[in-house]
Amino acid sequence: MEADDVRRWFSEYLDCFAACGRGEKDTSALLAHYGVPLLVTTDDGFFTVTSEEQVVATVQHQVEGMRAAAYSRSETLDSEVTVLNDKSAIYRATFSRQRSDGSEVGRLSATYFVTDGPRGLRISVLAVQSA
């Protein structure tokens, strides 16, 4: 696994996520980027998502909020890739979620554990950082 490959793949994920947030794609399109099982940790807790249906449901709540806020795009404010070995890397980033007029919907910092398995690169752990 190379850092540039992870950056390129993550950019494709962000494009897909943005299209879901704008309502241009169904949330299930994100299954091409999330692993199952998926470990998620936020201030609200830690949980394991064990099916594709649960992954979609987990992300759907966030996507609905973005659509309600007239989300248009995300700008990556900073990011860092740390390759751990041939099969995994950590991607850390802070994003500004914006409306089409450039006003900010909100900011998010997160750490993604990206793995390379039989189905290709996938986010296996999503850790949303406290504000």
64: its two tokens: 């609905």
How many Cβ atoms from other residues are within 10 Å of residue 28's Cβ? Answer: 14
Strands 45-49 and 71-85, sheet pairing = unpaired
Phi-psi region of 70 (alpha: psi -120 to 50; beta: other; left: phi over 0): left
Which tens digit of pLDDT belongs to each residue from 23-47? 999 999 999 999 999 999 999 899 9
- Rounded-to-10 torsion of CA 99, 55, 124, 7: -30
Give the pair of three-digit tokens for residue 131. Answer: 């504000």
pTM of the predicted model as reported, rounded to 2 decimal places:
0.92
Question: 98, 69 in Cβ contact below 8 A?
Answer: no
Residue 100 pLDDT class (50, 70, 90 cuts)? confident
Reported as a single tens digit per residue, the pLDDT across 53-89 is 999 999 998 899 899 999 999 999 999 999 999 999 9
Share of the chain above pLDDT 70, in %: 99
